[in-house]
Structure 1
């Protein structure tokens, strides 16, 4: 049974045994009275989850309490050496911030982002150390879409791995002026072609491209090109980024296709560029409801392990109620203040919660961390996501923007625009990260504090290399494998060369005739992927439906209304056509995944994206630019282009400007 049926509304039926129902209700009343509202809530949520497992058609509650989805007793053992990983993660935090700071030295001052990676370092590092498969893994590489503003983090990791030099870090954002090229601001394969795989800027394009990458992986397997069953797609996103339309616009595709090879990791630091994401609300709860309603599996990682004893004491639900009621604007403020402030303004709102922390010091209260900074909590969520079947998963983690950078950065509205640290900031940050750099080294040139690398033989560095070796090699890394296959012979182009004689035909018709012959080319035709946004009949491409077939991971489980017709609509698990519906943004994302398959998978696929010229170009121009950055290889066909083809449908269908815009490259 699909998730759509599972969560569908079921009208109440007559009570067939009122007495038994009354007994169940009395049991619930007794549970709440004897063990507290918190325990009663836990039981009810467990029953709802079990009803979902049993397919009882009881709709799940879209929003759960503001606590972690995975309870402490259900967390697996952390498989790594947490202390070693914490140590070199601190070095990465230092080096990533120092790289941006040094880029502000006199005469350079090129900007950069310090705070985004500071808030998400643990999220990435759990993946790099325990989950992200590299290109030498027997199962194939994972595809990891790294949030654009977090790019200093992977650069800092590559420095410790000896894949990037200190000189290269000093060339951050200086691609033109530095000999040999610098490091681009954001993930950019064209500018750093052996490093970055997936551009994720502009914001919002990463999520939709990740969804279609996951779909394409399944498509590639369905077509028989490659076994992608163990490859996973990870997309790291910001909570503010999810206001971009493209971030949420294709969620239903991932659910409908059952893309359990896809995980979104949302870094909910509660802040966007200018201020709170939802100051008066709760962005994590909003996203939970939205994703669950779209058919996704949702895992929340809100509180670190330090909160576990307090939540275990919360038998009457007072703490959970307080967590539920507190808006994000307050949570942001708490992390910009102090433990004493949190005691008074959070726990102090209810005498029961105030008493709960009565024996704790202010420092201990300040040390109550958020879940997105806790390795064990993150690992549990990632493991659950990769083991979940039948649905894509979103992991929503709560973090602090500017985490570890000190009082001047943490939780501040302006932290996104802060590009450098004062001398005192540097000293405090060094102490917090326990980096062995002296005051004298910092004071000698505050504009250029040193990077830190302990040397290749340090046990922490050896541990890093061992983890990546076990997972199949370093990431990010882009490879381009040359695959030899036969190109079409001249026969495939005979029709357009011959011309139409005395008959006038549209250029779109001429193209479709040529495409038909290309599809017949042995060794080439099977590598063509046709991407059509619900306009095949307009273009005269419906003739491909019964032969090439439309890709659907579930096949065709219904009786087609036109099954007796020559040009019947046929779906199949090995279909060659990617039919995206009325969805130019999704079509471009599918085109990007297919056209970069030569690099991502070592399997060249030749996409032909055929779109209605008037509606397919300017609407997705930013995504087209991204495809160029990703060095996508394929053909974009603006069908029914020009100002004469469809004038019968009015001026709004007569496209004279897209060809002009397309020629400005």
Structure 2
């Protein structure tokens, strides 16, 4: 909803709006884009040749010769090809346009990844929005729509800047930065943003966090008194950040302090770390620190929970001195409610809190009885089979 609202506001700009190319393969209403039908219309070279079933509604399916929205039908290959045409118009036709292709995130890198790689090779500029993103955010849809791998695949594309924002202000900062990079600085890169369809409160942006949002990691909140030696840091992103914040509240009940961070981009953090390592190899006398090392110093345990496979947060593990525990959604998806799916994949608030307590026990900061107490309180006494084995 926030993403579409931002795009709708951009479309109203008289100078820049006509250069925006919204693209959807299917499910425009699912993504909250039906208001664009009336605002800009759906492009049809021959105009509207039929009366749609919803003709009597305010947001009817309006096709027009001067329509701006490309509604391609159920063909991700066709839609990504339209996106490439718009994303390369700056070089092919000397007319810079800004394409937004919104789609079910599972139907992107997994389904048309080769075309996305070709788009990167052609130096495309634009936004890909993986909607209903994550493996647990879309209730009841099962394997077909549950994406746990797109952000990992995006990390392999050199000029793709991939982000997993949790809040509308994070999305706004990244969109503004992307437009600045692609259309002012004329950098040959494109942006992949995951967006969820879960309703939750959207907080105000903290002061002076814009740069850290773009780098991929910033502090959201402190729970209790924390120093560099303990006790625990919690990282969350996208759909799981609110579960991580709830886990910090659970830990407070055990008198365990925690720092909570939003990890907006593990791939950008990993690239920054690789660049710093490379610079340090060539400059022995001037040892720099990566963004992760600056924000997460000391030996405090770090628990990173994601709605994607564990390999995604593990990308930053080499930069963390303390014990690093990655929680993710490895395995196949399921058709169920969000809270059941998050419990199944062990990325909900209870499992995040248990991982933090277990790390503190293993490092000698807590007695094992505290972990047993938490297992009893959370009713997690029977581990059962791991979700990735089923």
Give the TM-score normalised by the residue count of structure 1. 0.23
Give the TM-score normalised by the residue count of structure 2. 0.39
Larger helix fraction of residues: 1
Q: Which structure has the larger Rg over C-alpha atoms?
A: 1
Structure scoring higher RCO (CA < 8 A, sep ≥ 6) equals 1
